[in-house]
Amino acid sequence: MNSLSRRHFLKLIGTSTALAATPTWLKAQTAASGRVVIVGGGFAGATAAKYLRHWSGGNVAVTLVDANPAHVSCILSNLALNGSLGLSQITFNYEALKQKYGVTVEAGQAVGAANGQLHLQDGRTLAYDRLILAPGIDFAPVPGLDIRRIPHAWQAGPQTTLLKNQLRDMPPGGVFVLTIPLAPYRCPPGPYERACLVADYLKRNKPGSKVIVLDANPKIMAEEHTFTKAFYQTHAGIIEYHPNVLLNEVDSTNRTAITSQGNFSASVLNVLPPQKAGKIVSDLGLTGGGNWAPVDPLTYESTVAKGIHIIGDSQGTSQPKSGHIANSEAKVCADAILRAFAGELPDPAPTTNSACYSPITAKTASWLTAVFAYDPETRAMKLVPEAFGEAPEATEENYEKMFDWASNLFAETFA
C-alpha cells in the first residue's frame, strides 16, 4: 500500500480544477466554431457542455440531452441510506449551464444517431458536427432479479430511497446481503463503502444484525488497506466478507441470492448487477462486441465510429468509472474537440486524475487518489505509481474534508 500524505492528496485533487481556466493555446483560437450534441447530463456530460462553451468563448453551439430534468449524484448517495444526507442535497439541475454558459438543454431520450443527426424517442432530430455520449452505465440481466423488490441503488434516486426504507424497516437481528459484480463496475470503492455504512447503521439501530458481502472478485478491489481494516476491526463481528462468489440467480420473492457458494437469504438484499456501457452506446454498436466502448484516450473519440466521443462510465479505457475521473475525461475531450474545430492536433500528453473519499462510519472517512498519464507506446492511459495511494487511517477530519471535495467537484461540473 502506497500511502500519501494528506497534503499531497489535497494537492493532487486540486488538479481537478487545473483545467478550469482557458487553455493557453485556445486564447487565440476562440473563433473555432461547430455544433456539439451531448447525451447524458452527469459528471461527464455536464462538464463537457460547460467547458466547450467556456473555452470557446461561446462560439461552439452545445446541446445537452437528458431524459431527466436534474442529475442525482451517486457521489455521497450512500450517506442517504443512514440519513446523513437527503437526496435533494445531491440533486443538480442544469440552470447554470443554460443561464451562465449558454448551453441548450433538451429533455429527451436518445435512441439513435446517423449522418450527423441524433434521433430522439419523440421523433425530434438534432444536428451535430461532433457527438459526445455520456450515458453512464446499463445493467446486464440477472435471472430472477426484480429491482422493484431487490434494489441496486447504483443509479441514485428512487432506488436509493427504496433501499433506505428497507433498511429502516429491517428487524433487529436481521441480515443485510450485498452482492458485488466482477470489475469493472461504477465506483470501485463504492460497494465496500456501502457495506461499512450499513454495518455502522445496523450497529447503532438494529442490534444483533449483520452484513454479508458476496464479492465476485478475488479480493477487495479498491482501498484494500482501508476496507480490510474496516471489515475485520472497525466492523468486526458485523461484516462477513466472502470473495470469489458469483451470483447465478435471485429469488426476489424470498430475498435470496443463489450463488456459486450456496444460497444466502436476507432481510434486505442489495444486488449490484454486472454493468456495461449505457444503452445508446450499445445500440449504436460502439462497444466492439464487449461491455465498454473502446476509445482513443487522446480525444475519447470512438475507435468504431468517427465523430462520436464516449466519456464517463461507458468508455473502455483502464481508468476507473467514477464521477471525478468522468469530470477529468470530459475536459480532455472538450479540449480535443475545440482543437479539432480550430484545425489543431489534440494534446499529445493528457493526464487525468481520480480522487474520492469513502465514509467508513457516520463520523469517519478515508480517501483514495490516482493519476493517469497517456503512454504513447501503448496509446493507453496508465496509472502513475508515485501518485497512487490511500489514507493511512479513516479519521473524523477526512469525513469533514469529504464534503469540501464533493462541493468542489459539484461546482466544477454543474455551477
Give tens-digit pLDDT for 335-374: 999 999 999 999 999 999 999 999 999 999 999 999 999 9
30, with CB counted inside 10 A (0-12, 13-18, 19+), is middle
Q: Cell 455520456 belongs to which residue?
A: 134
CATH code for the domain defined by 6-138+275-414: 3.50.50.60
Q: Distances in Å between the alpha carbon of 281 and those of 36, 127, 265, 410?
A: 17, 18, 35, 25
Q: Give mean pLDDT, residues 167-186.
A: 98
Instruction: Using the predicted structure, report yes or no on whether residue 65 has a pLDDT greater than 90.
Output: yes
Q: Cell 456530460 belongs to which residue?
A: 45
- Rounded distance, CA 162 to CA 147, Å? 10
Q: What type of residue is 78?
A: N
pLDDT score of 23: 57
Q: Give mean pLDDT, residues 80-84.
A: 96
pLDDT score of 31: 56
Percent of the chain surpassing pLDDT 70: 93
Mean pLDDT rounded to a whole number for the chain: 94
Between 26 and 8, where is the model more confident?
26
Instruction: Using the predicted structure, report yes or no on whether residue 122 has a pLDDT greater than 50.
Output: yes
pLDDT-derived band at 16 (thresholds 50, 70, 90) equals very low
Asked if residue 184 has a cis previous peptide bond (ω within 30° of 0), the answer is yes
Instruction: Using the predicted structure, report yes or no on whether residue 3 has a pLDDT greater than 50.
Output: no
CA terminus-to-terminus distance, the chain:
36
The answer to whether 57 and 30 have CB atoms below 8 angstroms apart is yes
Instruction: Using the predicted structure, report yes or no on whether residue 315 has a pLDDT greater than 50.
Output: yes
CA-based Rg of the chain, rounded to a whole angstrom?
21
- Number of alpha carbons in the 13 Å side-chain half-sphere of residue 327: 27
Q: Which fold has domain 142-271?
A: FAD/NAD(P)-binding domain (3.50.50)
Tens of pLDDT, residues 89-111: 999 999 999 999 999 999 999 99
pLDDT score of 15: 41
Q: Give mean pLDDT, residues 227-243.
A: 98
Q: How many secondary structure helices (H) and strands (E) does the chain include?
A: 9, 25
Q: Which residues contact 339 (CB under 8 A, 6 or more apart)?
A: 25, 29, 345, 346, 347
Instruction: Using the predicted structure, report yes or no on whether residue 80 has a pLDDT greater than 60.
Output: yes
Please determine whether the domains at 6-138+275-414 and 142-271 fall in the same fold group of CATH: yes
Angle between helices 396-414 and 6-13 (to 10 degrees): 10
The answer to whether 19 and 52 have CB atoms below 8 angstroms apart is no
pLDDT score of 25: 53
Q: What is the pTM of this model?
A: 0.94
Tens of pLDDT, residues 217-227: 999 999 999 99
Domain ranges of the chain: 6-138+275-414, 142-271
pLDDT score of 32: 74
The answer to whether 69 and 97 have CB atoms below 8 angstroms apart is no
Q: Give mean pLDDT, residues 251-279.
A: 98
Instruction: Using the predicted structure, report yes or no on whether residue 22 has a pLDDT greater than 60.
Output: no
Between 296 and 15, where is the model more confident?
296
Q: Which residues contact 162 (CB under 8 A, 6 or more apart)?
A: 151, 153
Instruction: Using the predicted structure, report yes or no on whether residue 42 has a pLDDT greater than 90.
Output: yes
- Rounded distance, CA 57 to CA 55, Å? 5
**Which of 392, 406, 324, 390 has its CA nearest to residue 84?**
406
Q: Distances in Å between the alpha carbon of 296 and those of 176, 348, 353?
A: 41, 12, 17
pLDDT score of 30: 62
